[in-house]
Amino acid sequence: MPRAKLTLAVPEDSWVHEVSTADTELTVKVHTVLAHAQVGVAVVELTTADPVSALSALDDHADVADVDLLATREDSVLLQVETTSPALVVPLWQAGVPVELPFSVRNGDVTWTVLTSADRLAALGQALDEAGIDYELTFARDIDGRWAARVMTDRQREVLLAALEMGYYATPREATLTEVAAHLDISKATCSDILHRAEGNLVTRFAAEALSR
């Protein structure tokens, strides 16, 4: 079971991006969060020299449905925010991956730490790709320090190499998942599942080798 750290670019149309980039000294700390496809509710702390201006900008944002002021300090405010576009955390919900709290956003970037299975970590990467959210996996290892030594099955290796040769992993992509599946004469869902499992194995194995040097 890998523990992983990801650094993400917050979607530009979200209130979190606007508030954190308008004031580069501001930190948005997310203490709790609950979200599905249409609605998100979070308890957040805005820390900055001018929290009133940040609160005003947040309250005026189009995707903010409600803001409740829970507490104030000289340099911070604690809020409960309801948004109609929780784009940042929807991929977590879709992949079934819990994120460690609290996490912080600064200047449009957020770092998540997650503890999940290799398959769900791969599913999270797929969900982030589909949402158009840029991210980088900066750290991954087994939580108890014993590196997973799983190797890919022959079928996983065959599908992964076919996808690689067709340019599925190129930037920009040269082949879609549908095209890879058609080339292998399998369904898109089957192709996606095999790739997810292969990618999960690779993430875990790469981390084991890299971190044991």
Residue 149 lies in a domain: no
Same domain, residue pair 116 and 177: no
- Residue 124 burial by CB count (10 A; 0-12/13-18/19+): exposed, middle or buried? buried
pLDDT category of residue 154 using cuts at 50, 70 and 90: confident
* Residue 10: per-residue pLDDT: 92
Strand order in the sheet with 27-35: 64-73, 76-83, 40-47, 27-35, 103-106, 109-115, 2-9, 135-142
Domain boundary among 95, 113, 142: 142
Same domain, residue pair 74 and 178: no
- Beta strands in 95-160, from DSSP E residues, in sequence order: 103-106, 109-115, 135-142
Same domain, residue pair 119 and 163: no
* Residue 181: per-residue pLDDT: 95
Residue 147 lies in a domain: no
The pTM of this model reads 0.64
pLDDT category of residue 152 using cuts at 50, 70 and 90: confident
Full domain range(s) for residue 195? 154-211
